Chains A and B, each alone.
Chain A
Amino acid sequence: MQTFDLEAQGLRNLNSALHAQSANTNQTVWEVINPKGSHAIAVGLDAPIEVNVKGHTGYYCGGMNKQATINVAGSAGPGVAENMMSGTIVIEGDASQYAGATGRGGTLVIKGNASSRCGISMKGIDIIVHGNIGHMSAFMAQSGNLVVCGDAGDALGDSLYEARLFVRGSVKSLGADCVEKEMRPEHIEILKDLLERGGCDAKPEEFKRYGSARKLYNFNIDNAY
């Protein structure tokens, strides 16, 4: 295992070293110490490596990740896993705003709570949140799955496209065009898999499913008021 002291060696050296790892690397496990809330840690990775960050991260940790597994033993700042393509990111603590924003693939697990705009504009990523999520989450979400074991804030799924939203707790309010939908057997199966991948101790039957009413799919001036 390689240990990288971010405070001593700097962000540029860290990301350069991680970018240099190819699919055939034998240095598959990296440990990053002293992150101290630094931004853009382990962004743009493109190899099946494991990066363990020992502490809290700032903005955009794991941004645009491909293939890599990134574990954060702390909380994450805004935009964690932004535009992730594949791989897995696990946050042991809480995540700030826009967690998993525009993510196109892979799995983001947040073991604490996520702030506002979680999964905003998501495009295929799976996000599993053990705790609560804030307002405006999954705004314009296009595809993928958002699982919330706790409660959701205001305007969940506003202007939603085809992403699936599963919430176990309360939803403060639904956004425009977001409605509760029937939880059919195939959704139970999908959710069961997601909960297992996210390490959640919860039963799929306890969740409600939300999705798009599809009334915004074609331009209607009445929706503009």
Chain B
Amino acid sequence: MKDDHNGAPRTVPIQSATFSNPTNAEIRRAAATGIYDIRGGGSKRKVPHFDDLLFLGASISRYPLEGYREKCDTSVVLGTRFAKKPIELDIPITIAGMSFGALSGPAKEALGRGATLAGTSTTTGDGGMTEEERGHSNKLVYQLLPSRYGMNPDDLRRCDAIEVVVGQGAKPGGGGMLLGQKISDRVAEMRNLPKGIDQRSACRHPDWTGPDDLEIKILELREITNWEKPIYVKVGGTRPYYDTTLAIKAGADCVVLDGMQGGTAATQDVFIEHVGLPILACIREAVRALEDQGLHREVQLIVSGGIRGGADTAKALAMGADAVAIGTAALIALGDNDPRWEAEYNALGTTAGAYDDWHEGKDPAGITTQDPELMKRFDPIEGGRHLNNYLKVMALEAQTIARACGKNHLHNLEPEDLCALTMEAAAMARVPLAGTDWYPGKPGTSF
């Protein structure tokens, strides 16, 4: 640092926390283009998360299970409330809905292959059901979205569960858009759209306008499918107590709750970062709603939005969820954002690990694209193998933690097994701050 002209030291330059380099860069980008940024990848800001929780393993007051010999069950049954044919999964980790159109056909095939090997389910998305996905998914959840692209009764009858999507964690209250460059002949045909134009998805369902209508809509779906299929209702994490309550009232077999760190589809950056709640803040409220209705564990709760490994899974289950769903993590397991494509990520103005412009159709990994040449780079068999490996590791990690807490089933994990590292996490998860028996808002305290 140079001195000023009188020889006195200058003030050290300080980067503003408010006007940080990324913030300033975004201001310059907005000023130059006049268009808000659109991307995928969910919230990138640091928010209270599962990382802010720790498990309290067993010592004397708790008795752990032996890691290699004593059983710790991972199975889960979804849809036990009304459905004649509930879904039975080997692990409580499912693949979240991601559309054909956003993802290539081989990528959907790989998701099916990997999930089937791991004994779990996949989910369609905004774009209908592909043969690749149905053919390779032992258990497939069929999404009923506001756009109704590709919706038909034949696919309703050949799915294993139906997910009525009301909202998504990255954009609760918002619709979607698939840019024209990804609307290939096949995508256009499936969505009844001209090739090459932007596909808009409405933010609301066209044929129902509130929870009372939803209840009747679910009745219709059940009647069409002879009451066989579990009906999930997916909401973005915003008002989890009330939304869960109304989903239960409408007759959901399962509630899917998606936090702000999730999202693989194109959304406005301002929406991703400023609308919705982190999933950590949603789970206990949703569980409270289920308990207040006397339906916890009878109506299952699936949570998603930033789930990355066995620890996240175990923590979500300990807070009362029945299963988790992964989206972004599944794409990474398939090979997206892999450093092997670093040069090409650089050419797109980004770096491996930060690539989030999946909607542009230029994915070097060939996963989130409809470009035939890029798609050739992706091997669905290898991708499926990697996903299976990853899901198995997640389950093993969760089992290891559960055994250390003395539990012979992942669902036996409970809030009492957790503590929090921060006040915020303690308040949201309603578990004690580490080293204390207190959390903000605990009944009987004055805080």
Contacts and interface: CB of A to CB of B under 8 A. Distances in A.
Interface in B177-194: 177, 179-180, 191-194
Shortest beta-carbon contacts, A-B, top 3: A44-B224, A101-B207, A64-B153
Interface string B181-214: 0000000000111100110101000111100010
Contact of B227 (A12, A104, A120, A124): A12
15 contacts: A44-B157, A59-B216, A60-B207, A63-B224, A64-B152, A83-B151, A83-B153, A98-B207, A102-B151, A123-B192, A139-B202, A142-B193, A143-B192, A161-B193, A219-B177
Contacts of B213: 59, 78
Contact of A11 (B152, B197, B209, B223): B223
A221 B36 contact: yes
B159 to A, nearest CB: 13
B51 interface: no
Interface in B36-90: 36
A171 to B, nearest CB: 20
Contact of B224 (A64, A78, A79, A97): A64
B26 to A, nearest CB: 15
Contacts of B197: 161, 217-218
A39 B220 contact: yes
A217 B178 CA distance: 11
B374 interface: no
Interface of B: 34-36, 147-148, 151-153, 156-157, 177, 179-180, 191-194, 197-198, 200, 202, 206-209, 213, 216-217, 219-220, 223-227
A55 to B, nearest CB: 18
Contacts of A135: none
Contacts of A83: 148, 151-153
B206 A101 contact: yes
A166 B130 CA distance: 34
Contact of B217 (A44, A60, A66): A60
Nearest to A220: B35
Interface in A40-90: 40, 43-44, 46, 58-60, 63-64, 66, 78-79, 82-83, 85
Interface residues of A, number: 43
Contact of B148 (A15, A79, A102, A219): A102
A107 interface: no
Contacts of B177: 219
Contacts of A12: 223, 227
A132 interface: no
A117 interface: yes
Nearest to A64: B153
A124 B192 contact: yes
Given A11-B223, A64-B152, A64-B153, 16 more contacts: A15-B224, A63-B220, A63-B224, A78-B207, A82-B220, A83-B151, A85-B153, A102-B148, A117-B206, A121-B148, A123-B192, A162-B194, A216-B198, A217-B194, A219-B179, A221-B36
Given A64-B152, A140-B202, A120 B220 contact: no
A113 interface: no
B176 to A, nearest CB: 12
Interface of A: 11-12, 15-16, 19, 39-40, 43-44, 46, 58-60, 63-64, 66, 78-79, 82-83, 85, 97-98, 101-102, 104, 117, 120-121, 123-124, 139-140, 142-143, 159, 161-162, 216-219, 221
B214 to A, nearest CB: 11
A16 B191 CA distance: 30
Contacts of B200: 140, 159, 216
A44 B229 CA distance: 14
Most buried by A among B152, B156, B220, B224: B220
A79 B219 CA distance: 13
B151 to A, nearest CB: 6
B194 A139 contact: no
A143 B200 CA distance: 14
A40 B152 contact: no
B178 to A, nearest CB: 11
A102 B209 CA distance: 15
B223 A43 contact: yes
Contacts of B226: 15-16, 19
A221 B206 contact: no
B220 A60 contact: yes
A218 B192 contact: no
Contacts of A15: 223-224, 226
B206 A218 contact: no
B224 to A, nearest CB: 3
A159 B208 CA distance: 19
Contacts of A117: 206-207
Contacts of B208: 78-79, 98
B35 A102 contact: no
Contacts of B219: 39-40
A174 B35 CA distance: 27
Given A39-B216, A64-B152, A79-B208, A104 B223 contact: no
A123 B190 CA distance: 11
Nearest to A214: B197
Contacts of B225: 44
Given A140-B202, A221-B36, A46 B220 contact: no
Contact of B206 (A64, A102, A161): A102
A117 B207 CA distance: 8
B54 to A, nearest CB: 44
Contacts of B224: 15, 43-44, 63-64
For B35, B153, B217, B225, the residue with the greatest tally of chain A CB atoms inside 10 Å of its CB is: B153
A121 B220 contact: no
Given A40-B216, A78-B207, A142-B192, A121 B153 contact: no
Given A98-B206, A121-B148, A159-B200, A60 B194 contact: no
A164 B89 CA distance: 46
A102 B198 contact: no
Nearest to A217: B197
Contacts of B147: 121
